Structure 1
């Protein structure tokens, strides 16, 4: 099987029944990506570092655009006028690990407010209600009430469709995925990354780039569990139905309910649990 991008080979020692065997294995790549912004009027352009995230290389432009959207910095893809790697050519890795995003001159960026936001969102003990109120202050693409609808059979097919489009997971078993489905339950787009938040940002960013945005007519499924942050990102993009193979947190359920989203957990085989928005699942 040819090796996919985002994968590295490594030598391991495998033990079975007390016997040791040396062999080659594959692991998912994890490298830092620094996102820099160029913003301001043409005669007063500023260049500043915004964030560093650990990600699987590939679809970096989509990741950056999705990240900027879910952090409330941009509201649409047209506010980004250019994206390019600007790393120093010290090594093939470092050359691709710094990304400069050029924003339109009319896009306002308040770095003082962004710094406070990043600190709050990464700290522990933030009140759930306060977090939800913060989200309501951000421009959102709310999903349509009760639409679209899906049958249980369509929803049960989400994981199987994803399995056929996860080359890195197939070779490593160590990566997350986020996928979008149309109103007929057919796979539209899938993104992989070692970070489940990055996979969601890549999916949102790629959808913004292709123009099928907001995502009011699309269901999304993610690997792993459903955290508050994943529901928050989906809510901002207008996603009406969010599913996962794992469990949701209490705050994820509360946030999904407050924004009229359908939240599905433990989607495995022929079973799944609907925590909010059951009206979109039509028997």
Structure 2
């Protein structure tokens, strides 16, 4: 039996219509899981779900506003109605609003914590309530190397990702009794639509590469593949861990 296979698993990926979320949904599906794409934009979600189905993956889109606890709970219930018992949650939805610490506005502060931390917590809660009744589950949080190091102009984002990493440990300990594993991954800069502008600037790109011992920018697939590992039985004894996918940035 292949311990990395996910046949029979039902996975929900938040923020799944682009970048890392899209790559995670695809990788989980290719490993055998049925996949629900949590999204605010249902048209984009429907298009992505159709693309996955065209590739032979059982996929659906579900409306999911991570700023609304009601929407989160409804989405989790919809996944179980559409696909079956939820067994894997990937908390990918998140964003950053860069600003010098002295210029951060309260609205931006609240928005980042509401999405990156509060949304991930209550999505985990909603999923864990379902998983606990069946005595199994895997939750994977998409954190960041920013949870371990300071990034200039990203103080609030760094704080939210540090909170997510510690939340991972807290939930792992509390939910171990239900055999729900909670882990995280912490990527460096990944080539996505949201980082495209930065990476197209040669000076910025070179500055980033100088901080990464492997001297390369990550691709979404570099994050998705460890997520599949954490979702699988190959990681059956892992909980409360955060895997750094940073090319060595935080080791320097």
- TM-score, scaled relative to structure 1: 0.25
The structure, 1 or 2, with the larger RCO (C-alpha pairs under 8 Å, 6+ apart) is 2
Q: Which has the larger radius of gyration?
A: 1
Higher strand share: 1
- TM-score, scaled relative to structure 2: 0.27
